[in-house]
């Protein structure tokens, strides 16, 4: 199974949004004090869960959680 993730390419709005911490990333489904979090995906046949997170809208990260812990990978929005 392939899971596709798309990110907006409008850099001006990303810069503007990162100035205002209360704004959400387009993929945000839950916003809290730690920023935005996207939908959690479970990869079939594995013990992996993946989702997007961002302390600010200008700092998105792909999070991979598995049996050995959690890894955050920076992504370009």
pLDDT tens digits along 37-74: 999 999 999 999 999 999 887 889 999 999 999 999 99
Report the sign of the C-alpha dihedral through residues 30, 73, 26, 13, in that order: positive
Give Cβ neighbours of residue 45 (< 8 Å, ≥ 6 apart). none
pTM: 0.64
Whether the per-residue pLDDT at 4 is higher than 70: the answer is: no
Please provide residue 25's backbone torsions phi and psi, each rounded to the nearest 5 degrees.
-70, 155
Whether the per-residue pLDDT at 18 is higher than 50: the answer is: no
Could you state, in order of their start, the residue ranges of all structural domains in the chain?
25-74
Q: What is the pLDDT of residue 61?
A: 94
Give bridge partners of residue 28 from the DSSP assignment: none
Q: What is the pLDDT of residue 49?
A: 96
């Amino acid at each position: 199974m392939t899971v596709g993730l798309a990110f907006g390419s409008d850099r001006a709005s990303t810069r503007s949004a990162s100035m205002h911490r209360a704004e959400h990333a387009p993929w945000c489904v839950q916003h809290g004090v730690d920023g935005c979090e996207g939908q959690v995906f479970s990869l079939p046949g594995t013990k992996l869960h993946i989702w997007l997170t961002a302390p600010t809208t200008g700092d998105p990260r792909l999070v991979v959680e598995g049996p050995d812990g959690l890894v955050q990978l920076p992504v370009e929005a």
